[in-house]
């Protein structure tokens, strides 16, 4: 469905559109079939596409992880060669960070931010589409390195000078640099888009302090992206120019200091950690109150601690460099600032726990994942404190103790939180509920698997097994309880346990898709605005933009305090259906929705052509640049919406959700 214009009776009331747009500059009109996806600018369709592609990369990165764990299951193992192993852990990390967790969080942000703030779309819909296609093409470009001469092999941190052409002669690092440039543009424009959406497009009455916590956390994340992505962009350009055009930014022989790269990378890289985790903090801050049937404890504290994390997160990057030789003053300062960030993080954990306290807990799969997130993230947070102390970190850094720490944070925290989001929002997105029975198995396999995989890594690290080593020798394993061989095998078994859990999720998705049973309108007795519309939501989200009176607006429309013996009681006075009917009784006039566009996908497509050209032949880059320029012109010249006469008149029946078909 495309431009929707709902009019109430007055036929002369129409949009102003260019009447004689050239053929190719018409906006596409398809409402069904592949064209309706490829040219869409609808935030919900883009959200689903973000999610589907991110899920694909999750499975890919997961397979890479399984290969790594197979290799490490036995001493001096030969599943992977040293070179392939280095490529594998580089791509595992890069894929999981840039092609799974970030875009999956973007999927949720895209789909639910406009709904939660009561908007009809994001502020810049075509840019939103451009962001998705850049992410997809960037991810494909990066992974094409596997078949075009070798994947990047310098680790996801790509320390200089090991990443220079001298020490990493394959094109892998070039693919990494340029691929991340492309996905970086996607993140950056997505950030601007969502910031403007939240700041400018909130429904009446939706003050910032009535914003759902998910929207708040996403807002913080978008600001982090806005400032962090430019830093990595600069670093990537420096490295790119060094590798491809003879610059010498990190060349020691010419007087450069390789620590420059480390600073640039971690000034981006540490905020990046919060970019990964905060969306999931937001998700479980929605899920836990819903299933505890009470508001989030200390909403303001959760919001401000999230913002505090967003600020302090900029002042801790050098804790990744405690062994680099920064000198004791820098090390002491960054050590203390790192401990500081544990305070707002601790506040969040306390508040989630206190939200459970005194609640009426309903243990759905979404709730299980959310509680699992708190538990596992707490372990990751506490082990984080053990290496905030710089002297201890000089023992722990680059060992499996660190691997254990950040996997508890990212898998236990971010990924489990995303799964809570899947189960919670699936009925909203697709109108069908994921199987709770499969979901329970999915949850327990992942929860146990995470502990089985990453729990032993604490032992491995403290027993002195460093990271990024293709083999561990039998002679350094020790005996007894801490035998490294035993715990490495346990971790490998654990990784397959996680994989089984994820497989069940995939099966669940396919089985649910074939199911005909529709989800109830409000399956979880939810609290926020996205539940104040159909499932899946209509293209224009709300027939009538709700006016917001309170935090948890939807909940307060359903429930009221009624007097009862021994004080007042909270009673459900209206069903979701009734609340919705009430709202839809007076649909808005003039709903302006953006029309689809041919240009975002074409513009996005030009970038990998340019980057392939940088690697293989600059003439190809010129060709790509021409496409880019044409696409930019097309973008600017196309009419702002499809012509009014290109559509059938909207149906005047009471069903305002009827889709409008295009005229030929």
Does 33 bind another protein (CB under 8 A)? Our answer is: no
Stretch that binds another protein, among 58-66, 128-136, 142-150, 394-402 (CB under 8 A): 394-402
Per the structure block, which two tokens stand in for 418?
């995303």
Q: Considering only residues 28, 51, 139, 456, which one is a binding residue for another protein as defined by CB under 8 A?
A: 456
**Nearest alpha carbon to residue 515 among 595, 435, 609, 422:** 435
Q: Please state whether 257 falls in left (phi above 0), alpha (psi between -120 and 50) or beta.
A: beta
Q: Which is nearer to another protein, 232 or 452 (CB)?
A: 452
Does 311 bind another protein (CB under 8 A)? Our answer is: no
Q: Cα–Cα distance between 162 and 160 in angstroms, integer?
A: 5
Q: Which is nearer to another protein, 459 or 576 (CB)?
A: 459
CB 638 within 8 A of CB 27: yes
Q: Considering only residues 59, 247, 340, 493, which one is a binding residue for another protein as defined by CB under 8 A?
A: 340
- Listed in sequence order, the residues at least 6 apart from 506 whose beta carbon sits closer than 8 Å to its beta carbon are 59
Q: Which is nearer to another protein, 342 or 627 (CB)?
A: 342
Q: Considering only residues 181, 378, 535, 544, which one is a binding residue for another protein as defined by CB under 8 A?
A: 378
Does 293 bind another protein (CB under 8 A)? Our answer is: yes
Q: Cα–Cα distance between 26 and 621 in angstroms, integer?
A: 28
Q: Considering only residues 2, 181, 187, 351, which one is a binding residue for another protein as defined by CB under 8 A?
A: 351
User: Could you give phi then psi for residue 503, rounded to 5 degrees?
Assistant: -60, -40
Does 382 bind another protein (CB under 8 A)? Our answer is: yes
**Nearest alpha carbon to residue 492 among 539, 532, 454:** 454
Per the structure block, which two tokens stand in for 485?
């061989």
SS3 of residue 76 by DSSP: coil
DSSP summary character for residue 521: S
- Listed in sequence order, the residues at least 6 apart from 392 whose beta carbon sits closer than 8 Å to its beta carbon are 386
CB 111 within 8 A of CB 119: no
- The count of C-alpha atoms lying within 13 angstroms of the C-alpha of 108, restricted to the half-sphere facing its C-beta, is 34
Least distance in angstroms from the C-beta of 341 to another protein: 10
Q: Which is nearer to another protein, 57 or 216 (CB)?
A: 216
| 65-104: contacts with another protein (CB under 8 A) | 81-83, 86
Q: Considering only residues 46, 68, 287, 404, which one is a binding residue for another protein as defined by CB under 8 A?
A: 404
| 237-276: contacts with another protein (CB under 8 A) | 252, 255-259
Q: Which is nearer to another protein, 283 or 292 (CB)?
A: 292
Per-residue x/- mask for another protein, residues 570 to 589, rule CB under 8 A? xx------------------
Does 307 bind another protein (CB under 8 A)? Our answer is: no
Least distance in angstroms from the C-beta of 486 to another protein: 11
| 157-176: contacts with another protein (CB under 8 A) | 159, 161-162, 165-169
Least distance in angstroms from the C-beta of 297 to another protein: 5
Q: What is the DSSP string of 418-458?
A: HHHHHHHHHHHHHSSPPPHHHHHHHHHHHHHHHHHHHHHHH
Does 493 bind another protein (CB under 8 A)? Our answer is: no
Least distance in angstroms from the C-beta of 71 to another protein: 11
Does 465 bind another protein (CB under 8 A)? Our answer is: yes
Whose structure tokens read 């595992």? Answer: 92
| 596-635: contacts with another protein (CB under 8 A) | none
SS3 of residue 534 by DSSP: coil
Q: Which is nearer to another protein, 344 or 596 (CB)?
A: 344
Does 482 bind another protein (CB under 8 A)? Our answer is: yes
Count the site residues for another protein by CB under 8 A: 117
Least distance in angstroms from the C-beta of 360 to another protein: 5
Does 477 bind another protein (CB under 8 A)? Our answer is: yes
Q: Which is nearer to another protein, 349 or 507 (CB)?
A: 349
Does 363 bind another protein (CB under 8 A)? Our answer is: yes
Q: Which is nearer to another protein, 230 or 358 (CB)?
A: 358
Least distance in angstroms from the C-beta of 530 to another protein: 20
Does 480 bind another protein (CB under 8 A)? Our answer is: yes
**N-term to C-term CA, the chain:** 14
Stretch that binds another protein, among 34-42, 140-148, 269-277, 372-380 (CB under 8 A): 372-380
**Nearest alpha carbon to residue 388 among 431, 457, 341, 435:** 341
Q: Considering only residues 353, 440, 657, 662, which one is a binding residue for another protein as defined by CB under 8 A?
A: 353
Per the structure block, which two tokens stand in for 432?
């069908």
CB atoms within 10 A of CB 258: 17
| 313-332: contacts with another protein (CB under 8 A) | 323-325, 327-328, 331-332
Q: Cα–Cα distance between 420 and 414 in angstroms, integer?
A: 10
| 95-154: contacts with another protein (CB under 8 A) | 153-154
Does 470 bind another protein (CB under 8 A)? Our answer is: yes
Least distance in angstroms from the C-beta of 380 to another protein: 9
SS3 of residue 14 by DSSP: coil
Least distance in angstroms from the C-beta of 361 to another protein: 5
Q: Cα–Cα distance between 469 and 569 in angstroms, integer?
A: 61
Q: Which is nearer to another protein, 86 or 544 (CB)?
A: 86
Q: Which residues of 519-557 are buried (b: 16+ CB within 10 A; e: fewer)?
A: bebbbbbbbbbbbbbebbbbbbbbbbbbebeebbbbbeb
Q: Which is nearer to another protein, 398 or 588 (CB)?
A: 398
Q: Which is nearer to another protein, 2 or 280 (CB)?
A: 280
Q: Which is nearer to another protein, 18 or 464 (CB)?
A: 464
Stretch that binds another protein, among 296-304, 538-546, 574-582, 585-593 (CB under 8 A): 296-304
Does 431 bind another protein (CB under 8 A)? Our answer is: no
Q: Which is nearer to another protein, 68 or 641 (CB)?
A: 68
- Listed in sequence order, the residues at least 6 apart from 334 whose beta carbon sits closer than 8 Å to its beta carbon are 315, 316, 317, 318, 319, 322, 326, 390
User: Could you give phi then psi for residue 111, rounded to 5 degrees?
Assistant: -70, -45
Does 300 bind another protein (CB under 8 A)? Our answer is: yes
Q: Which residues pair with 8 in a beta bridge?
A: none
- Listed in sequence order, the residues at least 6 apart from 348 whose beta carbon sits closer than 8 Å to its beta carbon are 281, 302, 305, 306
Q: Which is nearer to another protein, 346 or 639 (CB)?
A: 346
**Nearest alpha carbon to residue 376 among 406, 337, 339, 338:** 406
Q: Which helix (DSSP H) or strand (DSSP E) does residue 560 occupy?
A: strand 559-564
User: Judging by DSSP bridges, how do beta strands 559-564 and 567-572 pair with one another?
Assistant: antiparallel
Q: Which is nearer to another protein, 105 or 312 (CB)?
A: 312
Q: What is the DSSP string of 20-71?
A: S--GGGSPP---SHHHHHHT---HHHHHHHHHHHHHHHHHHHHHHHHHHHHH
Does 392 bind another protein (CB under 8 A)? Our answer is: yes
Least distance in angstroms from the C-beta of 266 to another protein: 14
């Amino acid at each position: 469905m495309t431009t929707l214009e709902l009019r109430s009776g007055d036929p002369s009331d129409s949009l102003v559109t260019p009447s004689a747009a050239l053929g190719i500059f018409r906006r596409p009109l398809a409402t069904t079939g592949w064209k309706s996806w490829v040219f869409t600018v609808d935030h919900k369709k883009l959200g689903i596409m973000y999610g589907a592609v991110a899920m694909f990369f999750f499975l890919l990165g997961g397979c890479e992880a399984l290969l790594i764990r197979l290799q490490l299951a036995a001493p001096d193992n030969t599943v992977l060669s040293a070179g392939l192993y280095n490529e594998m852990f580089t791509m595992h990390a890069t894929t999981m960070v840039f092609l799974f967790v970030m875009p999956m969080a973007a999927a949720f942000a895209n789909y639910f931010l406009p709904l939660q703030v009561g908007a009809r779309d994001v502020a810049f819909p075509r840019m939103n589409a451009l962001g998705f296609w850049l992410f997809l093409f960037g991810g494909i470009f990066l992974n094409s390195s596997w078949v075009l001469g070798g994947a990047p092999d310098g680790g996801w941190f790509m320390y200089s000078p090991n990443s220079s052409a001298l020490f990493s002669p394959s094109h892998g690092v070039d693919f990494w640099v340029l691929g991340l440039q492309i996905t970086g543009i996607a993140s950056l424009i997505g950030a601007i888009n969502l910031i403007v959406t939240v700041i400018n497009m909130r429904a009446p009455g939706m003050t910032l302090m009535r914003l759902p916590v998910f929207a708040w956390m996403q807002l913080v994340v978008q600001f982090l992206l806005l400032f962090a992505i430019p830093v990595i962009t600069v670093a990537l350009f420096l490295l790119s120019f060094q590798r491809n055009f003879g610059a010498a930014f990190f060349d020691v022989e010419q007087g450069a200091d390789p620590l420059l790269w480390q600073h640039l990378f971690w000034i981006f890289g540490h905020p990046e950690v919060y970019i990964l985790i905060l969306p999931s903090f937001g998700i479980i801050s929605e899920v836990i109150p819903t299933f505890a049937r009470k508001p989030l404890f200390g909403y303001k504290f959760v919001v401000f601690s999230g913002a505090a994390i967003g600020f302090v997160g900029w002042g801790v990057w050098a804790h990744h460099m405690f062994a680099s030789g920064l000198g004791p003053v820098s090390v002491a300062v960054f050590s203390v600032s790192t401990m500081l960030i544990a305070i707002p993080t601790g506040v969040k954990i306390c508040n989630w726990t206190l939200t459970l306290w005194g609640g009426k807990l309903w243990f759905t799969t979404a709730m299980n994942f959310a509680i699992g997130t708190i538990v596992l993230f707490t372990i990751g947070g506490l082990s984080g404190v053990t290496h905030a102390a710089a002297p201890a970190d000089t023992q722990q850094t680059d060992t499996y103790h660190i691997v254990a720490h950040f996997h508890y944070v990212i898998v236990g925290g971010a990924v489990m939180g995303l799964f809570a989001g899947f189960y919670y929002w699936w009925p909203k997105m697709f109108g069908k509920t994921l199987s709770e029975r499969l979901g329970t198995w999915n949850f327990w396999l992942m929860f146990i698997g995470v502990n089985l995989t990453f729990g032993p890594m604490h032992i491995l690290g403290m027993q002195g097994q460093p990271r990024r080593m293709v083999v561990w020798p039998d002679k350094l394993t020790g005996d007894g309880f801490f035998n490294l061989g035993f715990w490495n095998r346990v971790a490998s078994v654990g990784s397959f346990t996680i994989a089984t859990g994820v497989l069940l999720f995939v099966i669940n998705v396919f089985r649910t898709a074939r199911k005909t049973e529709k989800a109830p309108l409000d399956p979880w007795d939810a609290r926020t605005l996205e539940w104040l519309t159909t499932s899946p939501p209509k293209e224009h989200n709300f027939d009538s933009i709700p006016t917001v009176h309170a935090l948890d607006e939807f909940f307060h429309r359903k429930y009221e305090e009624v007097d009862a013996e021994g004080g007042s009681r909270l009673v459900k006075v209206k069903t979701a259906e009734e609340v919705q009917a009430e709202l839809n009784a007076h649909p808005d006039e003039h709903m302006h929705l953006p029309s689809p566009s041919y240009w975002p996908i074409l513009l996005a497509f030009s970038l990998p052509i340019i980057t392939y050209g940088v690697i293989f032949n600059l003439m190809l880059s010129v060709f790509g640049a021409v496409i880019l320029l044409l696409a930019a012109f097309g973008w600017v010249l196309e009419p702002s919406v499809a012509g009014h006469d290109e559509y059938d008149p909207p149906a005047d029946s009471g069903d305002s959700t009827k889709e409008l078909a295009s005229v030929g």
